[in-house]
Chains A and B, each alone.
Chain A
């Protein structure tokens, strides 16, 4: 008999939700794998016979299960946990450094500011990324820009920065590749075969992550890509260093021997002139976010709904502040003293020196190159970023034709 209770009723009501089709598809995939395993399971005939046999059978069953566990289960349980732990460590990395070997041509991937031997730059776009340095608590400005190279043989290749792919590995692998011994260490391999949903690795055939079973950290990653009608492209990521003190030499802008310096940005790059100015303090209510910036409209909508519900009128257009893809926020300026309840936060941005420019055009269009040009302009004027990047989005009617973006970043005079 089922009794009635207001607490029961509340949790029943609040947990009634149908499984989204996308989730159901994933879970059905797991069920299909499970069914196959069950069907391949050896028949069990232990639980028949006299009591003594039953005890013996129990013991035998335990032994069989242990054996099955040793042979089969690690591929799914301990194995998946090993992969999940390594992927989680990469996702939450405060610093991530690695060497990329692109079709057998090695160069340090943390900084694309210099040309790799045998490659010359075809299209340069300045890139900049502000990362927290876990060892000193300071922020580090990373330059990495050049993405398209032309080999000496005349072949054009893309040399993408793979940091974001490593930091966005899915929680489960598609296949287990087994074990491999190298230098006295046991590595366990996992394969991903699905292209990332953001299209960042088109034509992905396999992304193999090899994890050191002793440390549960990624040892190296092999990526094989082949887009239709194009040759196979192979990348090998090695010397992966996570959350370790960053080698300052990597930020030295003096080209190492055998490398040539970066020239001016490519023709056609947007001309953005940063204005260095004093900005007023600003209070805002924001929602902290992590993951894809595509969540921005939804995040702003949640803050807008919250402000409406609490009777607060925004004091200006929406804005976003960005430390990294793992740490950003979106919200609205509000009158000073406005409070907020979690998950929303009331934040105060102090007055101070900032670089700023307003660019017209659809909000997200060419964001990367705009920021590259903007930050290059900041640095050329003798300043360095001194806080998170901010965008303030305005529009007369919400349509792309009238949209404009103020890019703003706190700056300090370079020493």
Chain B
């Protein structure tokens, strides 16, 4: 086995499934997922030597994957390409007691994705890594090359924006932010 093969086995093989899942969860369409995945692999290729020496290479690779998927999602939301199956309504309905019940599961998924598509890059990367991939703040900070406190700020801002956009999907009485960790 060559050095390069060993590097691939060490860095990519253990998280191949996770990379694909991450991209699919955010893009949700075959072409978009392939575009995002290809873009992520290209970025990984470009940064290969940096990834090799990175303190947490796999968090960095996931961060790159999330970033590429979010780019695709943002483009779709901006271009309003949500008219086909699983489309997101242009106007998110007002919160009401029956709104949640009336929305199908697919519609809720689509609304959540659209809201994520409206986040800034940093906010989206931070909240997706934290909430979906369940990566600790410290590792996210290493991957995003910033301080842990900055990651927490991105997450807090993302939550606030999502809470506004998705209030109709959240419990009627919003919880206080409980995270002080």
A binding-site residues for B, Cβ under 8 Å = 1-12, 14-20, 22-24, 26-28, 30-31, 34-35, 37-41, 43-44, 46-47, 61, 65, 69, 73, 76-77, 80, 84, 170-172, 287-291, 295, 298, 302, 305, 309-310, 341-343
Q: Closest CB-CB distance, B37 to chain A, in whole Å?
A: 5
Which parts of B17-70 form the interface with A (CB within 8 Å)?
20-21, 23-26, 28, 30-31, 33-35, 37-39, 41-42, 44-46, 48-49, 52-53
Shortest 3 CB-CB contacts between residues of A and residues of B: A3-B179, A343-B87, A8-B131
Q: Are A10 and B2 in contact (CB under 8 A)?
A: no
Q: Are B166 and A10 in contact (CB under 8 A)?
A: yes
Q: Are B130 and A8 in contact (CB under 8 A)?
A: yes
Q: Are B20 and A19 in contact (CB under 8 A)?
A: yes
Q: Are B26 and A15 in contact (CB under 8 A)?
A: yes
Tell me which residues across on chain B come within 8 A of A30, comparing CB atoms: 34, 37-38, 41
Q: Please list 13 pairs of residues, one from A and one from B, whose beta carbons are closer than 8 Å in the complex, sorted by A's number.
A: A5-B177, A7-B162, A8-B127, A9-B131, A11-B127, A15-B25, A15-B113, A24-B20, A28-B16, A171-B35, A172-B35, A287-B83, A289-B84
Tell me which residues across on chain B come within 8 A of A305, comparing CB atoms: 104
Q: Report the Cα distance A84→B32, complex, angstroms.
A: 12
Contact of A27 among B20, B108, B131 (CB under 8 A): B20
Contact of A302 among B5, B85, B102 (CB under 8 A): B85
Contact of B112 among A14, A20, A24, A295 (CB under 8 A): A14
Question: Given A11-B162, A27-B37, A47-B49, does the pair A4, B127 have CB atoms closer than 8 Å?
Answer: no
Q: Are A16 and B34 in contact (CB under 8 A)?
A: no
Q: Are A26 and B171 in contact (CB under 8 A)?
A: no
Tell me which residues across on chain A come within 8 A of B147, comparing CB atoms: none
Tell me which residues across on chain B come within 8 A of A170, comparing CB atoms: 31
Q: Are A17 and B159 in contact (CB under 8 A)?
A: no
Tell me which residues across on chain B come within 8 A of A15, comparing CB atoms: 25-26, 109, 112-113, 128, 132
Tell me which residues across on chain B come within 8 A of A18, comparing CB atoms: 21
Q: Report the Cα distance A171→B113, complex, angstroms.
A: 22
Q: Report the Cα distance A373→B136, complex, angstroms.
A: 66
Q: Are A31 and B41 in contact (CB under 8 A)?
A: yes
Q: Report the Cα distance A8→B166, complex, angstroms.
A: 12
Q: Are B42 and A73 in contact (CB under 8 A)?
A: yes
- Across the two chains, which residue of chain B brings its CB closest to A291? B84
Q: Are A12 and B8 in contact (CB under 8 A)?
A: no
Q: Closest CB-CB distance, B25 to chain A, in whole Å?
A: 4
Q: Report the Cα distance A324→B60, complex, angstroms.
A: 44
Q: Are A341 and B89 in contact (CB under 8 A)?
A: yes
Question: Given A23-B24, A44-B52, A341-B93, does the pair A6, B175 have CB atoms closer than 8 Å?
Answer: yes
Q: Report the Cα distance A30→B33, complex, angstroms.
A: 11
Contact of B38 among A8, A40, A46, A76 (CB under 8 A): A76
Is B141 at the interface (CB under 8 A from chain A)? Answer: no
Question: Given A30-B37, A39-B8, A305-B104, does the pair A11, B112 have CB atoms closer than 8 Å?
Answer: yes
Q: Are A290 and B84 in contact (CB under 8 A)?
A: yes
Q: Are B89 and A343 in contact (CB under 8 A)?
A: yes
- Across the two chains, which residue of chain B brings its CB closest to A171? B31
Tell me which residues across on chain A come within 8 A of B30, comparing CB atoms: 20, 22-23, 26
Q: Report the Cα distance A46→B127, complex, angstroms.
A: 35
Is B95 at the interface (CB under 8 A from chain A)? Answer: no
Tell me which residues across on chain A come within 8 A of B49, comparing CB atoms: 44, 46-47, 61, 65
Contact of A4 among B3, B20, B179 (CB under 8 A): B179
Q: Closest CB-CB distance, A170 to chain B, in whole Å?
A: 8
- Across the two chains, which residue of chain A brings its CB closest to B102? A309
Q: Are A6 and B46 in contact (CB under 8 A)?
A: no
Question: Given A2-B136, A19-B21, A30-B34, does the pair A11, B131 have CB atoms closer than 8 Å?
Answer: yes
In this complex, the member of A28, A39, A172, A310 whose beta carbon has the largest number of chain B beta carbons within 10 angstroms is A39
Tell me which residues across on chain A come within 8 A of B24, comparing CB atoms: 17, 19-20, 23, 27
Q: Are A37 and B45 in contact (CB under 8 A)?
A: yes
Tell me which residues across on chain A come within 8 A of B39, comparing CB atoms: 77
Q: Are B53 and A47 in contact (CB under 8 A)?
A: yes
Annotate B111-130 by CB proximity to A: 1 below 8 A, 0 otherwise: 01100100000000001101
Q: Report the Cα distance A65→B102, complex, angstroms.
A: 53
